[in-house]
Structure formats: C-alpha cells, structure tokens
Amino acid sequence: MAYEIRQWPAAVRREIGGLPGPAEAAVLVLLIAMRARGPRPEEYQVKPLKKNLRGLVQVNMKINREQIRVLFSVYGNCIVVFHVFKKTSPQVELRGYELALKRKKTAEQITKGGADELPTLH
Amino acid sequence: MNSLPSIDLSVSERLQNDPEFRQDFFIAESSAKIAQQLINLRKRRTLNQTQLAEKLETGQSAISRVESADYLNWSFATLRRFAAALDARIRVVIEASEDVLPEYEEATQCVTETESDDTAAGSAANYPSGDMQWPSLKKTKISPRPPAGAANAGQMDIPQLSNLPI
C-alpha cells in the first residue's frame, strides 16, 4: 500500500532542506521509503513516543555523528511529518517534541473544521 | 484535492544538477538498501539477530548496527562475512549516474507552499478559500516493534542481496 507523505506546516520541507547535506539526503531517502512501504521501514529506528506525546512517532537517525529526529503521526495511509530537527542537546529534543505536538494539535484542529474559513470535512 | 501540503520528494532535478547532493543521496540510499536486504535475508533464514551474531562470532548489537539504514562504515569484508553466514551471493553493481538518473524521474508531487505559521487561522488564510478539502485525520496506532533480536519468520521477504548497490 502506498502512503501519502504530508507535512504540517509547509515549513517542514524547509527544515529538511536546512539540515547538513548528508542528513538531508538521508531524511529524503527515509521519507521515500515510508511513502512506498509505510511508517515502519525496518532498517530505521522508528519508535512511538511515550504517553504524554501520544500519537507522535519518532525516527532516530545518526548521520556523521549528528543526531537527526523526524517526528510524524500516521492517519490511515497518510503520514504527516510535523518536525525534523538536529538534536544537539536533550533540551533541544524536548523543545522539538513540544513544537511537534503543538503542530499536530493544530493540524488535527484544522482538519476537524476548527477554523471558519475551512470547508466541511470529507 | 486540497489537503495538508505534501512534502516534495521529487529528487530527480536536484540529482541532475547538484553533484554533492547526488553523492549524499546515493550513499544514503545504498546504505538503506543494504540494511534492508540484510534484514530480509536474515528473516528468510529464520534467524534472529542474536543467532546471526553467534554465527559471525560477534555481538547482537553489532548486527543491529549494520542492519541500520544510517550505518555508513561498510567494508566489503564485512559484507562477505554476512553473505557467507546467510548463504548468499554478493553482486556489486557500480553504475554511472547518467544511467540511473532516469529512474528517479517521477511525477512531481504538488507542494502547496504556505508561509511557516503554526496557527490554524494563520495557516488557513494562506490557502485559497472555497475549494479546500481537508483530509479526515483518523489516527492509526503503531504498535511497538518486537525486540531487536527477535526473528520474524512470518514476514519473510525475498532478499535482493544479488543487486547490491555499493
């Protein structure tokens, strides 16, 4: 089953583009694999995050000694990426979780028709 | 259909025009494929990581490390050892980039670019009104993966070690 890879917000692609070259390439390879094979390609370290970050899934990558985090959620056959960042400290990682969670909530709120400008859901 | 913006995963143009990115991408892709093939072949042999480690006289963590997509320190000797332990053939194919780039040409996914804005109202304002269809985000639970060393004989894939891109 092919998956759709989406992002929220659109700045996520720019986050990927802002990574060092090898890390950017590795994240793109990961997302292409996820598009073809789903959210858990076995050659990647994919782990659902703990309870208070419920619904967020993390991919840990270590590229040239740099730790890259990809945070996403899965909705049916749609994988929505919320944040991609380089972990430079535990604090940065925690901030990354908070930001991803905030984005996730916003995306879910929007898709439930929380904003007046949005049409009825399908 | 309008929905959450897609991520542009079309790499074809960049692979053509950016030699540095091309090398980074090829390395990342080949590493991931090697790891995937080794995992598939190990499962086909109904071995868990610990059993394979014993055959190779190494530790389970070493197997876990080389079965990871971001492992880049491959040596041919290591691959030969794995291939022997898994009763497989290695075939190395080195291809000129101009010969393989057409493989990456794909329908460009439409990317709806909006300004970075995490607020619902702010983000929605960037979309054309009236013709949007937001997808229904029904959460799908991902169950925890079985322990790293566990064999999973039920999910055997055909290995592709014969087409090893190094």
Give the tens place of pLDDT for each residue, A10-35: 999 999 999 999 999 999 999 999 99
- What is the per-residue pLDDT for B124? 40
Task: Say if residue A121's pLDDT is above 60.
Answer: no
Which 8-state DSSP code applies to residue B164?
Answer: B
How many angstroms separate the CA atoms of B122 and A20, rounded? 30
Which residue is it, tokens 């190395």? B92
In tens, the pLDDT along B32-79 reads 999 999 999 999 999 999 999 999 999 999 999 999 999 988 899 999
Residue of chain B whose alpha carbon sits nearest to that of A111: B134
How many angstroms separate the CA atoms of B155 and B161, rounded? 17
Task: Say if residue A94's pLDDT is above 70.
Answer: yes
* Residue A84 parent element (H or E): strand A78-87
ipTM passes above 0.90: no
In tens, the pLDDT along A75-86 reads 988 999 999 999
For residues A27 and A16, the answer to whether their CB atoms sit within 8 Å is yes
- What is the per-residue pLDDT for A104? 92
* Residue A69 parent element (H or E): strand A66-75
pLDDT band per the 50, 70, 90 thresholds, residue B145 = low
Chain A residues near residue B120 by CB distance under 8 angstroms: 106, 109-110, 114-115
How many angstroms separate the CA atoms of B52 and B11, rounded? 36
How many angstroms separate the CA atoms of A29 and A36, rounded? 11
* A115–B124 C-beta distance less than 8 A: yes
- What is the per-residue pLDDT for B142? 67
- Of the partner residues A29, A62, A106, the one whose CB lies closest to the CB of residue B25: A29
Sign of CA dihedral B105, A8, B20, B13: positive
* B32–A9 C-beta distance less than 8 A: no
Mean model confidence pLDDT for chain B: 76
- What is the per-residue pLDDT for A11? 92
pTM of the model: 0.77
Q: Contacts by B101-108 with C-beta closer than 8 Å and gap 24+?
A: B101/B12, B101/B15, B101/B16, B104/B11, B104/B12, B104/B15, B105/B12, B106/B10, B106/B12, B107/B10, B108/B8, B108/B10
- What is the per-residue pLDDT for B117? 43
In tens, the pLDDT along A30-76 reads 999 999 999 999 999 999 998 777 789 999 999 998 999 999 999 98
Strand partners, A70: A59, A84
What average pLDDT score do residues A98-106 get? 93
CB proximity A33 to B under 8 Å: yes
- What is the per-residue pLDDT for A110? 84
CA atoms within 13 A on the CB side of B138: 5
- What is the per-residue pLDDT for B138? 57
* B128: exposed, middle or buried (Cβ count in 10 Å: 0-12, 13-18, 19+): exposed
How many angstroms separate the CA atoms of A113 and B137, rounded? 11
* A41–B28 C-beta distance less than 8 A: no
